[in-house]
Amino acid sequence: MTGATAAGSATGPAGPEIRSDIPPVEVDGVSVRFGAINALSDVSFTVQPGAIHAIIGPNGAGKSTMFNVLSGVYKAAEGQVRFGEHRLDQMRPYKIAGIGVARAFQNIALSGTQSVAENLMLGRHHLTKAGFLAAGLRLPKATREGKIHGARIAEIAEFLDLGEKLHTPVGVLSYGDQKRVEVARALCTEPRLLLLDEPVAGMNAEETDRMAAAILEIRSALGISVVLVEHDMGMVMSLADRVTVLDFGRLIADGTPAQVQSDPEVIRAYLGSGDEADPAEAAEHHAAEHHAAEHHAAEHHAAEHHAAEHHAAEHDQTAEAGRRPAADPRSSDSSGATS
């Protein structure tokens, strides 16, 4: 950890009123291993209450692994993750949701056959109670519950420009809309900590701006903490109060956007040393071949690719890898302009 905490809080959550019931997230010495691969090694950082905290890093740096640890999908081999009095590293995912940690997935994980409203209603799952019997028999309490929460859902949908599409099946929505439904669904859980996994990946410039504005507004209106994994450097640098940089599963920098941007190690990780355009990518390819030969493809995938079960994810990766070397220098330019 770099000793920049003071500077971080100075520029930190300015303005918005932070809710009193929002504790910090303390990631303390977390390591995750898949077979022989260290997806995360001894990573520590703290998300201050009410902060917008970005986690960045090249492909395969362990960002999504970190998210999977925060939401309980992966178990840490070592270390602790504390959220107030709760130990996230020891809880099952659905319990974590129950204490107000919500996550929007990078590779949209919505139910395509269900409508936007139904998908959003799922966000209310832990806030509602109707069980099999109550729902099956349409007991009055189940119907009442549906009505009350339906109103709140409409509100959240409206906030993310989804109001008109409330009854449209998610599967027929555009990609950008689906991304917004992801975020809306996470919001519907009334979170205290919101995890956004590349919320603007694949969006066009206009949509990206709108999403950035929405995230700022979420924080200022709700006063909750937001942790963000994002590739769009412009967005990260303009939004985040604090940035954690991972590379090869290690934490290489942690500080304000300005501090991180001038950190030599970060620059090296992103721009590569000398003629090698992208060391991370090259290393990843090397590792891929090596491990495929050793029949460790499964672990390799989980560790290196923050990919979903589907092929689309793989496409995503390749596309992203192709984009990054060009995108990064430029986006750090733009972030320089915005900050």
Partner 1 sequence: MTQFLSLLLNGISLGALYALIALGFVIIFKASEVVSFTHGSLLLLGAYSIARLSDSIGFLPAVLVGILITAAAAIVIERLIINRLRGAAVISLAIVTIGVDIILLTELIRRLGSDILNVPHPWGGESFRIGSVGLSQNRLIAFLVAAVLIAAFFLAFKYSSWGIAMRASAEDGETAALMGIRQGRVSALAWVVAGVLAAVAALFLVGSPTPGVTPTAYAVALRAFPAAILGGLDSTGGALVGGLLIGIAEAMAAGYQDQLLFLGRGFSAVVPFIVMIIVLMFRPSGLFGTKELTRV
Partner 2 sequence: MSEATVTAPAGASRAGGSAPAPARSRRSWLKPLLLVALLVVLLALPLYVEEFWLRTGFAVFGAIVGAIGLNLLVGNSGQLSLAHAFFLAVGAVSYTYISGEEGGLGVAELGGLGLPPIVGMIVGVLLAGLAGLIFSPLAARLRGIYLGVASLALVFIGIHVLNSWTEVTGGFNGRAAPNFELFGFAFANRDPELYVLGVPFREAERLWYLGLVLALAAYLFARNLLRGRPGRALQTQRDSEVAASVMGVNVQGYKARIFLVSSMYAGLAGVMYALSIGSIAPESFGLELSILYLAMIVLGGLGSVNGAVLGAIFVSALPLVFQRYADLIPFVGDRGSGGLAAGEAARFLFGAAIVVVILFEPAGLAGIARRITGRFRRPGGSVTQRPPESHGPTSEPTPSDPPAQGSTT
CB contact at 8 A, 114 and 172 = no
Give the span between the Cα atoms of 244 and 44, in whole angstroms.
Answer: 10
Residues 285-324 that bind partner 2 (CB under 8 A): 308-310, 312-313, 315-316, 318-320, 322-323
**CA 304 to the chain's CA centroid:** 16
Residues 162-181 that bind partner 2 (CB under 8 A): 164-165, 167-178
Q: Name the H helices within 223-272.
A: 233-239, 257-261, 264-271
Give the span between the Cα atoms of 308 and 286, in whole angstroms.
Answer: 22
**Residue 118 binds which one of partner 2, partner 1, none, with CB within 5 to 8 A depending on kind?**
partner 2
Count of Cβ atoms closer than 10 Å to residue 228 Cβ: 25
Gyration radius from the chain CA atoms: 20
Give the span between the Cα atoms of 1 and 175, in whole angstroms.
Answer: 37
Q: Using the minimum distance from each CB to partner 1, give the nearer residue, 73 or 99.
A: 73
Provide the terminal-to-terminal Cα distance of the chain, rounded to the nearest Å: 23
**Burial (0-12, 13-18, 19+ Cβ within 10 Å), 147:** exposed
Give the span between the Cα atoms of 321 and 281, in whole angstroms.
Answer: 7
Residue listed under structure tokens 């721009």: 271
User: Judged by CB under 8 A, which of 159, 299, 320, 334 binds partner 1?
Assistant: 299
The answer to whether 203 contacts partner 2 (rule: CB under 8 A) is yes
**Residue 305 binds which one of partner 1, partner 2, none, with CB within 5 to 8 A depending on kind?**
partner 1
**CA 43 to the chain's CA centroid:** 17
Part of the chain binding partner 1 (CB under 8 A), chosen from 60-68, 123-131, 199-207, 213-221: 60-68
CB contact at 8 A, 235 and 212 = yes
**Residue 144 binds which one of partner 1, partner 2, none, with CB within 5 to 8 A depending on kind?**
none
Residues 231-270 that bind partner 2 (CB under 8 A): 232
Q: What tokens does 183 get? A: 């975020």
Fill in the per-residue mask, 37 to 76: x = in contact with partner 2 (CB under 8 A), - = not in contact.
Answer: ----------------------------------xxx---
Residues 88-117 that bind partner 2 (CB under 8 A): 92-94, 96-98, 102-103, 105, 107-114
Pick left, alpha or beta for residue 114 (phi over 0 → left; psi -120 to 50 → alpha; otherwise beta).
Answer: beta
**Residue 147 binds which one of partner 1, partner 2, none, with CB within 5 to 8 A depending on kind?**
none
User: Judged by CB under 8 A, which of 12, 22, 34, 224 binds partner 1?
Assistant: 34
Part of the chain binding partner 2 (CB under 8 A), chosen from 41-49, 122-130, 247-255, 256-264: 122-130
Query: In the complex, what is the shortest distance from the CB of residue 99 to partner 2, in angstroms, rounded to a whole number?
Result: 10
Part of the chain binding partner 1 (CB under 8 A), chosen from 9-17, 133-141, 210-218, 291-299: 291-299
Residue listed under structure tokens 């409206």: 158
User: Judged by CB under 8 A, which of 148, 221, 292, 326 binds partner 1?
Assistant: 292
Residue listed under structure tokens 């986690």: 55
**Residue 161 binds which one of partner 1, partner 2, none, with CB within 5 to 8 A depending on kind?**
none
Q: Using the minimum distance from each CB to partner 1, give the nearer residue, 152 or 285.
A: 285
